[in-house]
Amino acid sequence: MHPAPSALRRAAAAATIALLATAVGCAPQPDDKASDGSSSSAGTTCAKGKLATQTSGKLTIATDEPAYEPWFKDDKPANGEGFESAVAYAVAKQLGYDKSAVVWQSVPFNKAFAPGVKTFDFDINQVSISTERKKAVDFSSGYYDVRQAVIALKGSKAAKATSIADLKGLKLGAQVGTTSLNYISDVVKPSQEAAAYSKNDQAISALKNGQVDAIVTDLPTAFYVTAAQVTNAKIVGQFENQGGTPEQFGLVLDKGSALTSCVTSAVDALRKDGTLAKLDKQWLSDAVDAPVLK
């Protein structure tokens, strides 16, 4: 039995509308703000404790496992200790959710900002805000300004490097999908292909075992690695910010999340009232300086 002409016309119209909607959804979005998704949040009222979260009355926050110091403490994101755990709970409080209303979820680093629907309200895991990543997810405004650093074993050739040129002939490694790995390929441009590891602890093990000459991580992590994980290693130096603007960590949200503007407002309030600076001093005060590699 064939559809009537009117049914065909209705089906064709519906298909056209669906195609147009898909085209709009796939079109490049403006890159005016850190969140890149604030338009979807327009008109959202950030009613304390009554946001459109994954679970009503709860705030689901994600991070990777293991959760490294100094960002977290004792691999327990829920204990409120460590810079990012403390920031997460401070943001939750701004949004109207006390500690008992926060639910933690384990999400691998790369999956947090990969395309696809998210199972969390926001992710906090040293994820740098970038134009490329904003194609797939929303970001809050930055909660931490960060630099990348090089770690090498004491007494090695890499440990004696004082410039970017000194690093070019070395075998370098970093976690896959990170700006640390980008700094190797885009700034150092070594003669050997960089080693990419799925986890940061794998990169650290490679350094210990001599599989790489040096690894690149963010500066606070580098201080923790050399102080507690590889005590016979040293921070060779840190890189300058590229492009004149600081690299920043941002909270990751689903693309077009209705929470983006509310979470961004919460981060902005914590920066304005000095909370972020206070938590920085409390948890990251030891990670303050290292030679600059030029």
Strand, coil or helix: 79? helix
pLDDT in tens, 78-121: 999 999 999 999 999 999 999 999 999 999 999 999 999 999 99
| Cα–Cα distance for residue pair 264/137, rounded to 1 Å | 14
Helix axes 83-95, 260-272, angle to 10 degrees: 110
In angstroms, how far is CA 288 from the centroid of its own chain?
A: 20
| Helices and strands, counts by H and E, the chain | 8, 11
Q: In the chain, where does DSSP find H-type helix?
A: 5-26, 83-95, 109-112, 179-183, 200-208, 219-224, 260-272, 275-284
Q: Please give the pLDDT value at position 287.
A: 57
**Mean pLDDT along residues 253-267:** 97
Strand, coil or helix: 186? helix
128: which DSSP letter?
A: B
| Cα–Cα distance for residue pair 255/35, rounded to 1 Å | 9
Among candidates 181, 220, 214, 219, which has minimal Cα distance to 197?
181
85 contact partners, CB below 8 Å, separation of at least 6:
67, 71, 72, 73, 77, 78, 79
Higher pLDDT, 284 or 41: 284
For the cut 60, the answer to whether the pLDDT of residue 43 exceeds it is: no
Q: Which residues make beta-bridge pairs with 145?
A: 248
What is the bridge-based pairing of β-strands 292-293 and 233-239? Answer: parallel
| Cα–Cα distance for residue pair 48/95, rounded to 1 Å | 5
**Phi, psi dihedral angles at 74 (to 5 degrees):** 60, 25
| Cα–Cα distance for residue pair 129/34, rounded to 1 Å | 7
For the cut 80, the answer to whether the pLDDT of residue 252 exceeds it is: yes
Q: Please give the pLDDT value at position 286.
A: 67
At residue 234 the predicted structure's pLDDT band, cuts being 50, 70 and 90, is very high
